[in-house]
């Protein structure tokens, strides 16, 4: 605060009488040092507001010229300060305004998180509005802060962590669409390092600078099931501290295995507070009903011979060292000499077997038949496990004069958006490895082909979630599961059944074991 007294007070009176528009800077020297006094520009109208205060008051405060003026009649002095500094910041998230009404299940999720002391995970199926739930949770947290005196003048510092860059842009656009000022949103990834009241960052970028997490008062973990292993440091940074006190923490996921010890850190810090999975959403008509049609194929003679060779090598190495999974084999890789060489051979054969199953001729040919004959001229989404397999499928389609497009991790963002806009116009078959599983909303898609080899439950749920999002007139979605019988592919059938039962489904579709068994006996077209 700058105190204004003596001659300067006379200057104010002079300005008030003559209604001069501005007061310039002045300097005052003493014998020992030079003291610079800042004189704030003020209009005659501002001075008129000041002089209009009650003359009998010992002191008064008025606002003018973007400043706060405090007058003391005892010594005819003025104190000047920024008016804005004493006015509480308006939390940006308070401007959140949805162009729709949140569903009852979404409101229940928000309330469950609030009731758990602003902490926990919300496990909601794809397409049930997890993002909107998160934004509403943030708004509720900001409203709590308004009632805390020590925080009343501070905006809520929110950090939203996402697994992919495409989700940074999507969440930015969504926040702006919901009424948040772009000036209040920062994007933190790659070379773009903007930190703001609301910051959207990728897990990788936040891991490289944990201070971004430590300084946040609320952290939202999107697709929280992915934040394990190397990302566990993120949870250490998200713990409470002396600066921000108890952080508000929210995890979002479509599914997470609560029995998997690798998820222990996530579930300890962010225990599930509400679940609303595919089955619930289908019954509530929030999601389209998934109709799964398993299609069984077999390997060619040559493929079967290779498959058996790979399997024999894998089993022999496992028996020799009594190690039967990837984790144990990674430990063996740390040794030297023969054990290390054998562990490497184990991984090589596992990879070859996976590639063989993904690229099996009859599996790819079954997909071509579906696209060409069953769903000609319809938008079809195809998922596979390897880039090699989808490239082979693209070539098979081309040989039949069927246009298709391929999206994978190296496809530039602008190229992906262009392909999505052309899907259903220039081509109808959209092929992907993993890229489209997370971060792309294509609710108009009704048909999906999965070239099964995965054993990852999260991946299965995400893939099913791509086509069961509701749009007007869409009540069901058709999902083809093409698998090679009498191989490791057989496990996928049970996983899909479990995904739709534990994450949802319907007795009249695939959730019943008997019904599923009957469907799984279908042969390839």
Three-class secondary structure assignment of 133-159: HHHHHHHHHHHHHHCCHHHCCCCCCEE
- Closest alpha carbon to 196 in 221, 250, 160, 242: 160
Do the Cβ atoms of 282 and 125 come closer than 8 Å? no
CA dihedral 201, 203, 204, 210 (to 10 degrees): 80
What is the phi/psi pair of residue 24, to 5°? -85, 175
Q: In what order do the strands lie in the sheet with 198-202?
A: 192-193, 185-189, 198-202, 158-162, 218-221, 248-253, 119-124, 272-276
What is the reported pLDDT for 385? 82
What is the reported pLDDT for 243? 59
* Least trusted range by pLDDT, from 105-119, 122-136, 260-274, 465-479: 465-479
What is the reported pLDDT for 369? 95
Q: Is the pLDDT of residue 49 over 70?
A: no
Rounded to an integer, the average pLDDT of 270-295 is 88
pLDDT in tens, 148-175: 554 444 567 999 999 888 889 889 999 9
Helix pair angle (44-51, 7-18), 10° resolution: 110
What is the reported pLDDT for 426? 92
Q: Give residue 512's pLDDT band: very low, low, confident or very high (50, 70, 90).
A: very low
Do the Cβ atoms of 450 and 363 come closer than 8 Å? no
Longest dimension (CA), the chain: 105
Counting every residue, how long is the chain? 525
Q: In what order do the strands lie in the sheet with 380-383?
A: 289-297, 476-484, 447-451, 380-383, 429-432, 404-407
More confident site: 368 or 264:
368
Give the Cα separation of 96 and 98 in Å (integer).
7
Q: How many helices and strands, by DSSP H and E, does the chain display?
A: 19, 20
Query: Tokens at residue 119, please?
Result: 């902490």
Q: Give residue 438's pLDDT band: very low, low, confident or very high (50, 70, 90).
A: low
* Least trusted range by pLDDT, from 157-171, 175-189, 296-310, 497-511: 497-511
Query: Tokens at residue 183, please?
Result: 């000036």
Q: Is the pLDDT of residue 348 over 60?
A: yes
Give the Cα separation of 282 and 501 in Å (integer).
11
Average pLDDT along the chain: 77
* Least trusted range by pLDDT, from 48-62, 70-84, 377-391: 48-62
* Least trusted range by pLDDT, from 126-130, 404-408, 521-525: 521-525
393-to-318, 330, 389, 398, 452 alpha-carbon distances in Å = 33, 33, 6, 9, 14
Give the Cα separation of 296 and 366 in Å (integer).
9
Which of 43-47, 247-251, 470-474 has the largest mean confidence? Answer: 247-251
Q: Give residue 523's pLDDT band: very low, low, confident or very high (50, 70, 90).
A: very low
Element (H, E) at 79: strand 77-82
What is the reported pLDDT for 63? 39
pLDDT in tens, 216-265: 999 999 989 888 777 778 888 888 765 556 899 999 998 787 877 888 88
What is the reported pLDDT for 436? 54
Q: Is the pLDDT of residue 73 over 70?
A: no
Cβ partners under 8 Å of residue 6, min gap 6: none
SS3 state at 202 = strand
């Amino acid at each position: 605060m700058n105190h204004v007294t003596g001659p300067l007070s006379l200057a104010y009176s002079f300005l008030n009488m003559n209604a001069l528009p501005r007061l310039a800077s002045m300097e005052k020297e003493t014998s020992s040092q030079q003291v610079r006094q800042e004189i704030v520009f003020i209009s005659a109208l501002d001075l008129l507001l000041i002089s209009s205060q009650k003359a009998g008051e010992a002191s008064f405060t008025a606002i003018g010229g973007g400043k706060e003026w405090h007058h003391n009649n005892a010594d005819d002095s003025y104190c000047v300060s920024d008016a804005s500094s004493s006015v509480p910041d308006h939390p940006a998230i308070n401007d959140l305004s949805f162009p729709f009404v949140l569903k009852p299940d979404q409101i229940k999720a928000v309330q469950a998180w609030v009731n758990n002391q602003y902490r926990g995970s919300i496990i909601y199926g794809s397409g049930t509005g997890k993002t909107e739930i998160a934004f509403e949770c943030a708004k509720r947290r900001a409203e709590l802060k308004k009632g805390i005196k020590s925080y009343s003048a501070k905006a809520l510092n929110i950090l939203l962590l996402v697994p992919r860059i495409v989700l940074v842009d999507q969440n930015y656009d969504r926040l702006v669409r919901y009424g948040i000022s772009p000036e209040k949103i920062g994007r933190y990834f790659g070379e773009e390092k903007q930190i703001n009241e609301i910051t959207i960052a990728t897990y990788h970028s936040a891991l490289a600078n944990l201070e971004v997490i430590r300084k946040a008062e609320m952290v939202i973990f999107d697709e929280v099931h992915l934040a394990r292993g190397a990302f566990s440091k993120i949870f250490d940074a998200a713990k409470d501290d002396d600066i921000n006190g108890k952080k508000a923490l929210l995890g979002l996921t479509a599914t997470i295995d609560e029995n998997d010890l690798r998820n222990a850190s996530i579930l300890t810090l962010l225990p599930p507070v509400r679940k609303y999975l595919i089955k619930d959403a289908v019954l509530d008509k929030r999601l389209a009903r998934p109709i799964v049609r398993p299609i069984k194929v077999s390997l060619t003679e040559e493929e079967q011979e290779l498959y058996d060779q790979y399997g024999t090598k894998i089993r022999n190495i496992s028996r020799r060292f009594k190690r039967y999974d990837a984790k144990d084999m990674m430990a063996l890789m740390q040794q030297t000499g023969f054990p290390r060489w054998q562990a490497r051979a184990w991984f090589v054969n596992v990879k070859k077997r996976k590639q063989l199953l993904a690229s099996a001729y009859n599996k790819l040919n079954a997909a071509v038949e579906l696209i060409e004959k069953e769903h000609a001229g319809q938008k079809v989404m195809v998922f596979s496990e390897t880039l090699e397999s989808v490239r082979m499928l693209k070539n098979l389609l081309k040989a039949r004069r069927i246009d298709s497009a391929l999206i994978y991790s190296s496809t530039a963002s602008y190229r992906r958006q262009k392909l999505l806009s052309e899907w259903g116009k220039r081509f109808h078959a959209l092929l992907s490895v993993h890229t489209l599983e997370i971060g792309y909303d294509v609710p108009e898609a009704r048909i999906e082909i999965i070239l099964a080899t995965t054993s990852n439950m999260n991946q299965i749920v995400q893939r099913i979630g791509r086509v069961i999002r509701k749009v007007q007139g869409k009540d069901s979605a058709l999902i083809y599961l093409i698998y090679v019988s009498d191989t490791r592919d057989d496990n996928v059938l049970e996983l899909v059944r479990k995904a739709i039962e534990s994450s949802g489904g319907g007795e009249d579709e695939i959730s019943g074991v008997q019904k599923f068994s009957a469907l799984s006996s279908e042969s390839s077209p």
